[in-house]
Amino acid sequence: MSTLEPIQVGLSNALLAPERPLPPGVITWNGSDPSVRFDVYRNNVVVSLTTALAEGFPVTRALVGERFFAAMARCFIADHLPSSPILSDYGDALPDFIAAFPPAQGLSYLPDLARLERARVQAYHAADAPALTAQDLACQLANPQRLSAARLALHPACIVLVSEHAIVSLWAAHQGQGRIEDVDLRRAESALVLRDGDAVLVLPLSLEIGHFLVALAAGAPLGEAAEIAAAAGPDVDLTQAIVLLIHYGGIAAWHTPGDL
Amino acid sequence: MTQSRAIQTTTAAALALALGTALTFGNTAIAGEGAAKEKCYGIALKGQNDCAAGPGTSCAGTSTVDYQGNAWKLVPAGTCEKTAAPTSPTGQGQLAAFKDV
Amino acid sequence: MTTKSPTTIAVGIGLKAEHMPDIIADDTALDFVEVHAENYMVSGGPALRQLTRVRDRFALSIHGVGLSIGGAAPLDQEHLDRLAALLQRFEPAWFSEHLAWSSHGGACYNDLLPLPYNPATLVHVCDQIDVVQERLGRRLLLENPSTYIEFATSSMDEGAFLAEVATRTGCGLLLDVNNAYISAVNHGRDPWDLIVALPPAAVGEIHLAGFAEDRDAVGDRLLIDTHGAPIAEAVWDFYRRTLRHLGSRPTLIERDQAIPPLAVLVAEAQRARSAWVDAAAWTEAAS
């Protein structure tokens, strides 16, 4: 609409930039400076989005402190306004933003820690899907030579993370599990984030299993994923990986080439 | 070629063994080693769901004033100070000074 | 006056995630609850399961905060589709949105921004509401916003604008009594002007909430719609007067910040029930 467009362009431009003048035609009943009143809107946008990020990244926020987090969030918001009004989707881009944010360069583990927190929110809201049970999978043993070529679809609420840093221990330390001081940040760690009933669990994995599941999640066939796991380290316990997946309903589908 | 085929055969056998064991002893494994490991790391956080839900919307405004773009030098000052940060020269969360614009 | 007053008023609260376990478990004295549409636009998981359980116990109102009906651009069809799916799934008793815009040029501001009220914007808003009601196949209740600035290009009062939107589109109105009070104070008007301008039959729901108080550049009161405090006494008075004028309307207590225990909000909802008893008695006495 021609009468709304210019004023909404002008107000949008002024929302994230307090120094920008308001578009013409913004008035107040008592002749007071409309920009001071418009500050309420400026404030609403920044504070509400900062609060949204803080709620989605509580450990990231605890690590850097409230003041740093708010300042970082403000920089993030200026670059990445939400593209949809669904706030549970807001924050996908924060981990990469942190990785490129100069003041956070000293905390090399922070982007992956933020990815872990993001994964928890994504897992919580992920689609529901039936999972394959041990009974469903028993038939796969009839043709063991075909196992290597099988591809698994992980449940939508299963997210695998592998980090060069001890993000799982660090996150756990913020849940009262272990001391922050004792976390050896140089230790690479892996986790499987998944939904169990109404709860979101963070299950620590060995790095080998972490790489195995990352490969499966990326669509690699079982055999290739097993070789990737073997290359990642000596302690490849595929049984445990499969047990974990079956127990937590992590396998949504099992495709063997040739099957319809 | 031969070596690759050998690896594939080994992998297929390992997979069959793993799947077979998992299907046969799956619940036992979880009740034993899996659960113990979970307990050890202790990160099965029932009852701490709220934070997993992430942010919710509001149709309200806020009276907290925080939109001001004051320039300051940002330095993380939270629990990161308790960690032994190996990548920083001082061993702490020492950061490049950054002027917020 | 021969109209017989209804003996009851439906009261509810805006449901926050914090209160979800309590509201599912407790025998709460509420008639309905309201949730924000956007919080349930998720693929799956506990949120939708919990809302299903809530829906089994209470009448449900779904309140959208992101449609940007007052936006210059055409409505986001994807968002409308999501809304349609949500409403189809939960079949709420009421669906409401705001007379405001919240996104522009692909960016969402997560705030309800004001627009000028004049014949041209009226046509635009009515067109948008036609699209919404057609796509959703149901009536929308449009909420009056709280505003902090005005526009030189406004030539209509908010009440006249809303009344005309309701008449032209057939939509209903969600009268936020707190917003009416806030905007009146913020723009030096009498809040009652808005109430009497609205066609009473169009008002399908009332909102009540608390505000914070600030000052503008010349020191005049500037009220901010924080939903972060108990409802002000002045707003309770204004609410009772509104009920005497409109009659019983489903009334919702909104609290989005500094969220107290569920019982505190339920007590505020009970106070709305009492306000209706007072208003009804007053109306009887006056007739």
Residue from B55, B101, B100, B34 nearest B73 by CA? B100
B/C interface, count of CB pairs below 8 Å: 51
Q: Are residues A152 and A246 in the same domain?
A: yes
The reply to whether residue B63 touches residue C47, judged by beta carbons under 8 angstroms, is no
CB atoms within 10 A of CB C42: 23
The domains found in chain C, sorted by start residue, are: 11-286 (3.20.20.150)
CB atoms within 10 A of CB C261: 11
Within 226-285 of C, beta carbons closer than 8 Å to A belong to none
CB C86 within 8 A of CB C47: no
Tokens of A113: 């820690």
For A160, the 3-state DSSP assignment is: strand
- A42 in B contact zone (CB under 8 Å): yes
- The alpha carbon of residue B4 is apart from the nearest alpha carbon of chain C, in Å, by 42
What pLDDT, in 10s, does the model give residues C54-111?
999 999 999 999 999 999 999 999 999 999 999 999 999 999 999 999 999 999 999 9
Contact partners for chain C, using 3 or more CB pairs closer than 8 A, are: A, B
Euclidean distance between CA atoms B47 and A175, whole angstroms: 12
The total number of structural domains in chain A stands at: 2
Residue that is last in its domain, among A47, A76, A107: A107
Euclidean distance between CA atoms C132 and C238, whole angstroms: 31
Residue A120 placed within a domain: no
Residue A113 placed within a domain: no
- Please state the φ and ψ torsions of residue C174, each to the nearest 5 degrees: -105, 110
Residue that is last in its domain, among A75, A107, A139: A107
Nearest C-alpha in B relative to A137 = B23
> Looking at beta carbons, which residues of chain A come within 8 Å of B74?
68, 71-72, 103
Euclidean distance between CA atoms C248 and C240, whole angstroms: 10
- The alpha carbon of residue C213 is apart from the nearest alpha carbon of chain A, in Å, by 12
Select the residue of A40, A81, A124 nearest C107 (Cβ to Cβ). Answer: A81
The reply to whether residue C256 touches residue B60, judged by beta carbons under 8 angstroms, is yes
The reply to whether residue C254 touches residue B61, judged by beta carbons under 8 angstroms, is no
The reply to whether residue C111 touches residue A36, judged by beta carbons under 8 angstroms, is no
Q: Are residues A101 and A72 in the same domain?
A: yes
Q: Are residues A101 and A156 in the same domain?
A: no
Task: Give the DSSP H or E segment for A251.
Answer: strand A251-255
- B36 in A contact zone (CB under 8 Å): no
What pLDDT, in 10s, does the model give residues A14-55?
998 888 899 999 999 999 999 999 999 999 999 999 999 999
Q: Are residues A148 and A258 in the same domain?
A: yes
Residue A121 placed within a domain: no
Q: Are residues A250 and A151 in the same domain?
A: yes
The reply to whether residue A168 touches residue B66, judged by beta carbons under 8 angstroms, is no
Euclidean distance between CA atoms C249 and B51, whole angstroms: 35
Q: Which residues pair with C46 in a beta bridge?
A: none
Nearest C-alpha in C relative to B47 = C21
For A94, the 3-state DSSP assignment is: helix
Select the residue of C18, C66, C111 nearest B50 (Cβ to Cβ). Answer: C18
CB A179 within 8 A of CB A202: no
The reply to whether residue A157 touches residue C45, judged by beta carbons under 8 angstroms, is yes
Within 60-89 of B, beta carbons closer than 8 Å to A belong to 61-62, 64-69, 72, 74-80, 82-88
- The alpha carbon of residue C278 is apart from the nearest alpha carbon of chain A, in Å, by 35
Within 148-177 of C, beta carbons closer than 8 Å to B belong to none
Alpha helices in chain B (DSSP H): 2-29, 35-41, 50-53
CB C253 within 8 A of CB C231: yes
Euclidean distance between CA atoms C103 and C105, whole angstroms: 7
The reply to whether residue B88 touches residue A106, judged by beta carbons under 8 angstroms, is yes
- The alpha carbon of residue B81 is apart from the nearest alpha carbon of chain A, in Å, by 8
Q: Are residues A140 and A76 in the same domain?
A: no
- C218 in A contact zone (CB under 8 Å): yes
A260 confidence band (pLDDT: 50, 70, 90):
low
- The alpha carbon of residue A97 is apart from the nearest alpha carbon of chain B, in Å, by 15
- C254 in B contact zone (CB under 8 Å): yes
Residue that is last in its domain, among A107, A138, A171: A107
What pLDDT, in 10s, does the model give residues A156-194?
999 999 999 999 999 999 998 899 999 999 999 999 999
Euclidean distance between CA atoms A47 and B62, whole angstroms: 7
Within 60-89 of C, beta carbons closer than 8 Å to A belong to 65-68, 70-72, 79, 82
For residue C59, give the amino acid letter.
A
CB A192 within 8 A of CB A213: yes
Residue A112 placed within a domain: no
- B4 in A contact zone (CB under 8 Å): no
Residue from A167, A158, A150, A118 nearest A223 by CA? A150
Q: Are residues A134 and A204 in the same domain?
A: yes
Q: Are residues A135 and A251 in the same domain?
A: yes
CB atoms within 10 A of CB C4: 7
Interface test with B, best of C86, C227, C231 (most B CBs within 10 A): C227
Q: Is the pLDDT of residue B70 over 70?
A: no
For A162, the 3-state DSSP assignment is: strand
Domain of A55? 1-107
Strands (E), A138-226: 151-154, 159-163, 189-196, 199-205
Q: Are residues A150 and A246 in the same domain?
A: yes
Three-class HEC string of chain C: CCCCCCCCCCEEEECCHHHHHHHHHCCCCCCEEEEEHHHHCCCCCHHHHHHHHHHHHCEEEEECCCCCCCCCCCCCHHHHHHHHHHHHHHCCCEEEEECCEEEECCEEEEEEECCCCCHHHHHHHHHHHHHHHHHHCCCCEEECCCCCCEECCCCCCHHHHHHHHHHHHCCEEEEEHHHHHHHHHHCCCCCHHHHHHCCHHHEEEEEECCCEEEECCCCCEEEECCCCCCCCHHHHHHHHHHHHHHCCCCEEECCCCCCCCHHHHHHHHHHHHHHHHHHHHHHHHHC
ipTM of predicted complex: 0.96
Euclidean distance between CA atoms B46 and C285, whole angstroms: 56
Q: Are residues A147 and A258 in the same domain?
A: yes
Q: Which residues pair with C251 in a beta bridge?
A: C11, C206
Euclidean distance between CA atoms C207 and B43, whole angstroms: 41
Select the residue of C36, C46, C98 nearest B56 (Cβ to Cβ). Answer: C36
Select the residue of A91, A148, A175 nearest B43 (Cβ to Cβ). Answer: A175
The whole-number pLDDT of residue B26 equals 63
Render each residue's pLDDT in chain C as its tens digit; 287 residues: 445 566 789 999 999 988 998 898 877 889 999 999 999 999 999 999 999 999 999 999 999 999 999 999 999 999 999 999 999 999 999 999 999 999 999 999 999 999 999 999 999 999 999 999 999 999 999 999 999 999 999 999 999 999 999 999 999 999 999 999 999 999 999 999 999 999 999 999 999 999 999 999 999 999 999 999 999 999 999 999 999 999 999 999 999 999 999 999 999 999 999 999 988 888 778 87
Euclidean distance between CA atoms B98 and B72, whole angstroms: 8
Euclidean distance between CA atoms A212 and A228, whole angstroms: 6
Euclidean distance between CA atoms B81 and B91, whole angstroms: 10
Euclidean distance between CA atoms C14 and B5, whole angstroms: 63
Euclidean distance between CA atoms A254 and A121, whole angstroms: 26
> Looking at beta carbons, which residues of chain A come within 8 Å of B86?
185-186
Q: Are residues A236 and A140 in the same domain?
A: yes
Euclidean distance between CA atoms A52 and A59, whole angstroms: 14
Euclidean distance between CA atoms C38 and A87, whole angstroms: 8
Residue A21 placed within a domain: yes
DSSP A98-155: HHT-GGGTT-TTHHHHHHHHHHHHHHHHSPP-----HHHHGGGGG-GGGGGG-EEEEP
For residue C187, give the amino acid letter.
H
Q: Are residues A153 and A240 in the same domain?
A: yes
